[in-house]
Amino acid sequence: MSLLALLDYASVLVFALTGALVASRAQLDIVGFAFLACLTAVGGGTIRDVLLLRDPVFWIGTPTYIGIAVLAAIVVFFGAHFLESRYRALLWVDACALAIAVAAGTGVAMAMAQTPLVVVLMGMITGCMGGLMRDVVCNEVPLVLKAGELYVTAAFAGSVAAVVVDTLIGTEWIVLAACAGLTLALRAGSLAFGWRLPVYRSRPPRV
């Protein structure tokens, strides 16, 4: 199994767990769990593959990805009640999923010899869009839009780091490890230590 395929499998599994955790907060039935887990797990990667004209889309070519997402949904359906705080668990599992997915998207774009701009955008799309779909469908404020939190910024920084390290070193696993590591470090710092970027504040009009 290639490193990129392994990253896709890991991304699908961990993002599926976040989708199922959100389903548990919304008190959905087991089919709703499976649907939301699959949507979250493959959403970002699907948009990535469609934009990059990959044929077939990764989960259509290998339906095992859907099976993994459904299995994750079943596990959470029967085990979510053991968690003391499902929302706190969601935040941290989502942080791990973001890091893995950004690395996966970045790696796929690099393997297709895309330009640095496209590589960065594919990393961000793969990392952010599945969670965005999940939260919108469940009528929750998307994590990617929480004011000041490092989410999209973390994905952007991780993808840029991959481009820089690839230019300097070029070893695939080092490039993707740097991408995932920086993404996770920034997102975890935002959750644990309150790292924030300045946000826009409107000013009263001048009289």
Residue 2 CA: distances (Å) to CA of 25, 65, 104, 109, 179: 35, 15, 11, 15, 17
Range of the domain at 168: 3-193
Question: Is 201 a domain residue?
Answer: no
Q: What is the pLDDT of residues 116-163, one digit of tens each?
A: 999 999 999 999 999 999 999 999 888 888 877 899 999 999 999 999
Q: Look at the alpha carbons of 159, 104, 192, 21 in this order and tell me if their dihedral is positive or negative.
A: positive
Q: How many domains does the chain have?
A: 1
Question: Is 206 a domain residue?
Answer: no
Query: Distance between CA 67 and CA 55 in Å, rounded?
Result: 20
Give the residue with greater pLDDT, 207 vs 32. Answer: 32
Question: Is 186 a domain residue?
Answer: yes
> Average pLDDT of 84-95?
90
Question: Is 200 a domain residue?
Answer: no
What's the pLDDT at 82?
A: 84
Residue carrying the six token digits 């996770």: 184
Structure pTM? Answer: 0.93
Using alpha carbons, select from 156, 131, 114, 176 the residue that is nearest to residue 40: 131
Q: Specify the 3-state DSSP secondary structure of 105.
A: helix
Under the banding of pLDDT at 50, 70 and 90, the label for residue 83 is confident
List phi, psi (to 5°) of 196: -140, 160
Query: Distance between CA 157 and CA 140 in Å, rounded?
Result: 25
What's the pLDDT at 87?
A: 87
Question: Is 124 a domain residue?
Answer: yes
Using alpha carbons, select from 168, 171, 63 the residue that is nearest to residue 107: 171
